[in-house]
Amino acid sequence: MPQISSRILDATKIIGPAAPCHTRRSCGGTAVAVGVNLEQTRSVSIPALRWIDPPAGPAIELLDQTRLPAVETIVTCTDAPSLVDAIRRLVVRGAPLLGIAGAFGVALAAARGDDVAAVAEELAGARPTAVNLGWGAGRALDAYQRALSAKRDAPLAALREARSIADADARACAQMAALGLALVPAGARILTHCNTGALVTGGDGTAFGVVLAAHRAGVLKMLYVDETRPLLQGSRLTAYEAGRARMPHAVLADAAAASLMAAGEIDLVVVGADRIAADGSVANKVGTYGLAVLAHHHKVPFVVVAPVSTIDFGTADGASITIEQRSPDEVTHMAGRPVAPSGSGAYNPAFDVTPPALISAIVTESMVIQPVTAGNLRVLNQGT
Ligand code: MRU
């Protein structure tokens, strides 16, 4: 039986109420940074994932993202089945963090003496679109098997690999933020979709990391946050992170993005990615493709921010990307209550695919790919 335990944190002791935004004139004219303090612009103060060593562990603690923003609860996974369950339920989510979780999941199996290869396979299949999940689990498995053949401490090797993936992702976030910042105009009104910050990476985030860098640099005028139906990762999680970072932000219904862009109120769209095919097609949270079409129509730059680990050079194009289909209940119900007549079916793909022609640039930690072509991505592949 999967073992999951949870404890509710006293959030008031950990994080105080959000203070007003530190920028001035944020609703008109150019935003001007006043007394920017990095500690005051952190988007999250509770780690999204934490490894617990013996004697309390081995275990993985996860900040339960299904309960945010109302409750900050930790889910403790003491074995791989409980982690797989947490991944499927979106307790832990977002491509880069899934890569880290996959690697720590393999380390957990190794520490317990479980069948490590079988666990890596199970983890990789838990969410089929997010390429980092199988990639992270595979890297930890390789490290484990190499150590085993060399008669070294194999569980320790898997754990070290997981830690190194998490550290590398934190560094990648910082590099993406620096490179992406160069694409943000002064006084930018940015629109984003889904959730791409510290809750889903080892650092400050992918797309949200760029927004945070813009906020810290005083060039962000407003962040517009798509609510991101059906599971509301935007309104529940991105708004939570933006509020913590004292960032001027507004949540909008996904369908309102069209009129906002038509009114000339958006200067830039930035989103993350779950898998990028070799031709530059980007799978990301459902609704991303629609935003890209809108941005193209309104001549608004559409920028994808993702680490190189999210690029899948083994998948030729967008049509070859497996799209995760999720339960109809996520569409027909909200917060457990029905919002459609009983018996209604639902179409619920978790992701959609944006073709490269609609993407102005892909920001990675190594370089900015612009224009987005298979040839330009190939250069990146050779450099890794
Ligand atoms: O289904 P989710 O919530 O895991 O989807 C997450 C996204 O689509 C993110 O935009 C993507 O993983 C990039 S995270 C930095």
The Cα–Cα gap between 180 and 216 comes to 13
**pTM, 2 dp:** 0.90
The Cα–Cα gap between 3 and 272 comes to 32
Residues with CB under 6 A from ligand 1: 90, 93-96, 194, 196, 200-201, 206, 233, 272-274, 284-285, 350
The Cα–Cα gap between 323 and 354 comes to 12
Helix, strand and coil percent figures for the chain, each rounded to 5: 40, 20, 40
- What are the tens digits of pLDDT across the range 195-251? 999 999 999 999 999 999 999 999 999 999 999 999 999 999 999 999 999 999 999
CA of 146 to the centre of ligand 1 (A): 31
Contacts of 360 (CB under 8 A, 6+ apart): 301, 302, 303, 370, 372
Residues belonging to the chain = 384
- Catalytic choice (79, 274, 312, 352): 274
CA of 221 to the centre of ligand 1 (A): 24
Active site residue 352: no
Residue nearest to atom 8 of ligand 1 (CA): 285
CB 278 within 8 Å of CB 316: yes
CA of 288 to the centre of ligand 1 (A): 11
The one-digit pLDDT tens for each residue of the chain (384 residues) are 334 444 444 322 222 222 222 222 222 223 333 345 667 777 777 899 999 999 999 999 999 999 999 999 999 999 999 999 999 999 999 999 999 999 999 999 999 999 999 999 999 999 999 999 999 999 999 999 999 999 999 999 999 999 999 999 999 999 999 999 999 999 999 999 999 999 999 999 999 999 999 999 999 999 999 999 999 999 999 999 999 999 999 999 999 999 999 999 999 999 999 999 999 999 999 999 999 999 999 999 999 999 999 999 999 999 999 999 999 999 999 988 999 999 999 999 999 999 999 999 999 999 999 999 999 999 988 755
Contacts of 250 (CB under 8 A, 6+ apart): 222, 223, 224, 225
- What are the tens digits of pLDDT across the range 80-121? 999 999 999 999 999 999 999 999 999 999 999 999 999 999
Domains of the chain by start residue, with CATH: 3-172 (1.20.120.420), 174-383 (3.40.50.10470)
Q: Which atom of ligand 1 is nearest to the CA of 284?
A: 8
* pLDDT at residue 384, rounded to an integer: 57
